[in-house]
Structure 1
Amino acid sequence: MKKIELLAPAGSYEALVAAVQNGANAIYLGGNAFSARAFATNFSREELKKAVIYAHLRNVKIYVTVNTLYEDNQFENLKDYLLFLATIDVDALIIQDIGLMHFVKKYFPDFEIHMSTQTSIYNLSAVKYFEGLGVDRIVLARENSIEEIKNICNNTDLDIEVFVHGALCMSYSGQCLMSSMIAKRSGNKGACGQPCRLAYKLEKDGKNLDSVPSYLLSPRDLCTLDNIGILIEAGITSF
């Protein structure tokens, strides 16, 4: 039977220790830059090194998120960061940008590459495209149905990971510009202000249709507890 990976996020070193002690097989986390959770505590370089040592001693893998979009003037810092991650022996990089994926494949071929949910991979054609480029894992968009997931898993040899808990994005994961437009905080750079979580009034022809603001744009959080067996049968590798 295929081994299923339980993958937990950690926004701080304390959270990492708690996740490992409670049975996680792998942890995903971000450094102080290039991570889609810019407002988490995140990890300094010393903490990243410490985290890898702690996890590897307990047979737990560490995946580092490098899943924001970057600008040309940031690329030297990004290369330096990748070199550091290579020296401390992290197990995989979680990447959104296709250009960065090509760069890592060329200059850091020992890294395992997981394409982030921010890449918005939601059908078999996209999965096959990245399979052809030699990535190791796809983190599917959170909008996929069970039938779509099953079709993808049955037609690829790649590891397929899905989110099983937590907030859903009102747009395809990471592709929303609403926060940038309203608050000048870019979701594509890890700084989403989550304006879709706020209450709004519905208006038509200048007239309010709602007397009280309601959460018109905010989806309920994801909770797949009752569907774990179905997802395993569908072929998921990592939760």
Structure 2
Amino acid sequence: MKKPELLVTPTSLSDIEPLSLAGADAFIIGEQRYGLRLAGEFTKEEIKKAITTAHAHGKKVYIAMNAIFHNEKVEELEEYIAYMKEAKADAVVFGDPAVLMAARAAAPDMVLHWNTETTATNWYTCNYWGRKGARRAVLARELSMDAIVEIKENAEVEVEVQVHGMTCMFQSKRSLLGNYFEYQGKVLEIENRKMKKNMFLHDKERHNKYPIFEDENGTHIMSPNDMCIIDELGEMIEAGVDSFKIDGVLKSTQYVVEVTKLYRKAIDMFVQKQEQYDEVKDELLEEAKQLQPRNRPLDTGFFFKETVY
């Protein structure tokens, strides 16, 4: 039975080594000028150092270029991709076809992962982008377990699925909060990297708090809960899903390290001795719950419920 890749989003350059030792197989990094909702900001030089460190541990590094690009940034894409090729990045993650075209010109052999976050909902679409040059499709977070398995059965490309962390519920290219506070005559320093600066939308009726932050890509409203399916990995591993992602956005380094250790243990145990995993999977879930802040309960996302639009 094939082990899925364990993909993690580090918060900084210093996270690469401890997360490698914790069991991560690959990392997604980048800068918000080109990538969406990153756990941390990496300059070009930091990306190069991260790749060197990760490769020394036998790990892979993928570069986030999954933003939606307007004309003023298009001319930068080829240069950025060429730099990542020179730095020996293992893949570029894209959503906008502009990145695909730039990669063909600047680095034709660069591995590409297609990720739009919302539109990868069927295997026909995954295969379309595969035939355009993508090696992997990152599936939408709103899919059920059955849908994911069906897509993997018919996909001509690798399939990546998020298994832990918060998910995005809303994005606007506009700086909605910043514009509001400016209208009110108040100064708001928008910074999504400092935990103490976190802002929330409060839904009193449902007793939910939705994390909200702004960056160069606009306003992002995140889910009130964190998904966690550490006790339900088996069906996707058996189906051959290629990559499981732990999203560390708005999480501390220590949290991401400990969660990575838990999923490493779960994956290895299921592949090597499923009976043992079945005996301890409830304990693994309980350990994951113990890591959660009180205001961030765990749930299973859309894996076992119908998506309602």
Q: In the TM superposition, what is the alpha-carbon distance from 1:75 to its structure 2 partner?
A: 2.2
| Contact 2:62–2:91 (8 Å) recurs in 1 | yes
> Residue 227 of structure 1 aligns to which amino acid in structure 2?
E
Q: TM-score, normalised by structure 1?
A: 0.80
Q: What per-residue deviation string (whole Å, max 9, x for no partner) do you get for residues 6-37 of structure 1?
A: 11111201122221121111111113631213
1:50 match: secondary structure = helix
Flag structure 1 segments of 5+ consecutive residues without an equivalent: 186-190, 202-209
Superposition pairs for residues 12-23 of structure 1, below 5 Å? 12-23=12-23
1:232 corresponds to:
237
- Does 1:214 pair with 2:207? yes
Superposition pairs for residues 160-199 of structure 1, below 5 Å? 160-171=159-170, 176-177=171-172, 180-183=175-178, 197-199=200-202
Q: In the TM superposition, what is the alpha-carbon distance from 1:105 to its structure 2 partner?
A: 3.0
Q: In the TM superposition, what is the alpha-carbon distance from 1:235 to its structure 2 partner?
A: 2.3
The 1:41/1:99 distance shift into structure 2, 3 A limit, reads closer
Distance 1:110 1:70 in 2: 22
Q: TM-score, normalised by structure 2?
A: 0.63
Q: In the TM superposition, what is the alpha-carbon distance from 1:50 to its structure 2 partner?
A: 1.1
> Residue 229 of structure 2 aligns to which amino acid in structure 1?
T
1:53 corresponds to:
52
2:203 corresponds to:
200
> Residue 143 of structure 1 aligns to which amino acid in structure 2?
E
| Contact 2:26–2:62 (8 Å) recurs in 1 | yes
Q: What per-residue deviation string (whole Å, max 9, x for no partner) do you get for residues 118-173 of structure 1?
A: 352111221121122121001101111111111110012311010010002225xx
Q: CA RMSD in A?
A: 2.8
Q: How many corresponding residue pairs? A: 218
2:275 corresponds to:
none
1 or 2, which has the higher strand percentage?
Answer: 2
Distance 2:13 2:165 in 1: 20
> Residue 69 of structure 1 aligns to which amino acid in structure 2?
I
1:59 match: secondary structure = coil
Higher RCO (C-alpha 8 Å, min separation 6):
2
